[in-house]
Every structure is written in C-alpha cells, then in structure tokens.
C-alpha cells in the first residue's frame, strides 16, 4: 500500500490503556470493504436520526442474520476498565486513539468524524443484520464502482475488484493490536453509552461485538468466482449506478448477514486475512484479565 503512514512507535512497554481498539477497527475495515458494493435491492438506508429515535427492529427470522441478544443483567463478556480510563470519555478521545492507531493522514482521508462513536457502534450492530445503513458508516468507501466479469453464461465478481479493498485490509493488519485493545477498554464507557442511545438500554456493547465477530468468522468460503446478478428492471427505470444493486446468485449467500456478504465481496484472500486478525483479537475482549 503506497499511502501508509508511520505507525505508532512505543519505545517502552505501554501502559494499560495503550493496548487497543482493533476489533472495532476490524469491523470498520469490513465496512470499507463492502461499501462500494452495498445497497442491493433492499429498503433505503435509515438516517442517523431515525436510528437514534427508535430501536432498529430485528431482521426477518433467517438463520444467517444475527439480531441483538436480549438484555442481560450481567454481561456475558465484561470489560475491565484500566486505572487511567477517563471519567467521561469523549469523541475527541476516540479520535485521538484512532489517529494513534492508523496515522493522521489515513484517519483524515478515511473516517467520517461527525458523530463518530455512534457511527461505530451502529455499524458493528448492523454487521450482524440483514442490512447496514450507509448513512451510518464511519468510513468512506473505496474508489470506483464494483466490477464484474463474464464466466461462460454467468456474471461473476471480477478478481480485479478485490484490489480496491487491499488498503483497508493492510491497514487492519498493520495495527498495533495491544494498543488497540487497551484503547478499546479505556474508551469502552463512551461506546457503551452510544450503544444504549441507539435504543438498547440494558444491553452490553461488548457482548454484541463478540456475537458479530463470531458471525463473521463463520462466514462460508465457497471459493472464487462468485456468481452475481442484477435484478431485472425496465430500461426507463435502470438506475444511474446499477453496480450498487448486485446480488449473489446463490440464495444462501444472499441471505447471509450484511457483514458476511461484505467479506465475500472482498475476495477470498482479503477475507482470509481479515478473519486471521479477528480470530487473534477476539480473546482479548472476552477475558477480563488486563496487563499492567
């Protein structure tokens, strides 16, 4: 990747809070991976105001999507806050942590700063659903349209299309994982409050994050190429950007959650690399142990 920034250098062993946000970053990267190919013939994305005003309803009962778990009095995956966690973390604290993780240039070029904590938790939640609202994504999409090739009588995702997502995957792989997890723990109250403000009082954001991670890791790997198709429409109704309406030809793949479909559209190599990072990071947010 030719737009790499210098990664944060830690000269001495980092204090507790300097050890990480990457599961969150990992899921943000997935959004970047899937943005250009999203929309698929589904209901229009909800605005941030709509999501804040009322709790999103669970997706239709399909085994592949993952509605939020019911409220629990005790979190399944509690988070221990480090001693230096701010009494009231702010969006500025979150932005500073992300700058430390990805570099100033990447941060400014990729992230949408307005209402960033809410964008992050809403997107994580929606990755386990049938749909993910484009208006809530915390990152900008890769440039250029989603592309396809012909394979016999079938239309398939073009292998050249996968290169559009490599900068996001490389960013994910380059993160200082210890710093990311520590930053996540340090700023967790801000994310938890943002999650409850979506309409989930009594539910725990870290539990939802683990649920979504597990769902993404269970994404099938059917191999390449993947057949896709455009829905039928008359010439007068043909949209200006038809590539945003592509669907998987296999109904089983099309019924997967939004996050799983995003992984599939990124290509087998990118999906494998993302899964490796998420698999390594998951234990760090499911254990209450902290390292001084």
For 69-96, what is each residue's pLDDT tens digit? Answer: 666 668 889 888 888 888 899 999 999 9
How far from chain centre, in Å, is Cα 95? 17
> Model confidence over 2-35: pLDDT tens digits?
332 333 333 334 443 334 455 555 555 554 454 4
| pLDDT at residue number 53 | 39
10 HSE (CA, 13 A, CB side): 17
- 1 or 21, greater pLDDT: 21
Whether the bond between 225 and the residue before it is cis, its omega within 30 degrees of 0, is yes
| pLDDT at residue number 230 | 82
> Model confidence over 105-158: pLDDT tens digits?
999 988 999 999 999 999 999 999 998 776 788 988 777 788 899 988 899 999
The most confident of 25-29, 81-85, 200-204, 223-227, by mean pLDDT: 200-204
User: What's the pTM?
Assistant: 0.74
Output the 3-class SS for 143-194.
Answer: CCCCCEEEECCEEEECHHHHHHHHHHHHHHHHCCHHHHHHHHHHHHHHHHHH
107 burial level (CB within 10 Å; 0-12, 13-18, 19+):
middle
Q: Give CA separation, 287 vs 127, 161, 180, 230, 242, in Å.
A: 23, 38, 15, 44, 45
164 burial level (CB within 10 Å; 0-12, 13-18, 19+):
buried
- Binned at pLDDT 50, 70 and 90, residue 102 comes out as very high
Does 179 score more than 70 pLDDT? yes
């Amino acid at each position: 990747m030719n737009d790499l920034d210098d990664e944060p250098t830690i000269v001495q062993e980092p204090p507790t809070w300097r050890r990480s946000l990457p599961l969150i970053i990992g899921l943000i990267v997935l959004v970047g991976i899937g943005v250009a190919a999203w929309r698929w013939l589904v209901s229009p994305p909800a605005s941030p105001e709509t999501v804040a005003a009322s709790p999103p309803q669970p997706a239709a009962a399909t085994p592949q999507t993952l509605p939020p778990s019911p409220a629990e009095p005790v979190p399944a995956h509690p988070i221990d806050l480090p001693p230096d966690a701010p009494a009231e973390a702010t969006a500025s604290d979150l932005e500073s942590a992300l700058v430390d993780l990805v570099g100033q240039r990447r941060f400014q070029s990729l992230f949408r700063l307005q209402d960033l904590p809410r964008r992050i938790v809403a997107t994580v939640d929606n990755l386990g659903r049938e749909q993910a609202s484009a208006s809530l994504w915390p990152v900008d999409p890769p440039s250029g349209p989603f592309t396809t090739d012909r394979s016999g009588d079938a239309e398939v995702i073009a292998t050249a299309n996968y290169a559009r997502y490599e900068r996001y995957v490389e960013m994910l792989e380059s993160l200082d994982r210890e710093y990311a997890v520590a930053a996540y723990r340090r700023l967790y109250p801000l994310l938890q409050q943002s999650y409850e403000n979506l309409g989930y009082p009594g539910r725990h954001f870290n539990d939802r994050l683990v649920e979504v991670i597990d769902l993404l890791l269970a994404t099938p790997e059917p191999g390449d190429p993947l057949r896709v198709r455009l829905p039928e429409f008359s010439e007068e109704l043909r949209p200006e950007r038809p590539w945003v309406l592509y669907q998987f030809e296999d109904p089983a793949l099309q019924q997967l959650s939004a996050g799983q479909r995003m992984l599939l559209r990124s290509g087998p190599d990118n999906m494998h690399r993302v899964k490796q990072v998420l698999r390594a990071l998951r234990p760090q947010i499911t254990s209450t142990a902290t390292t001084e």
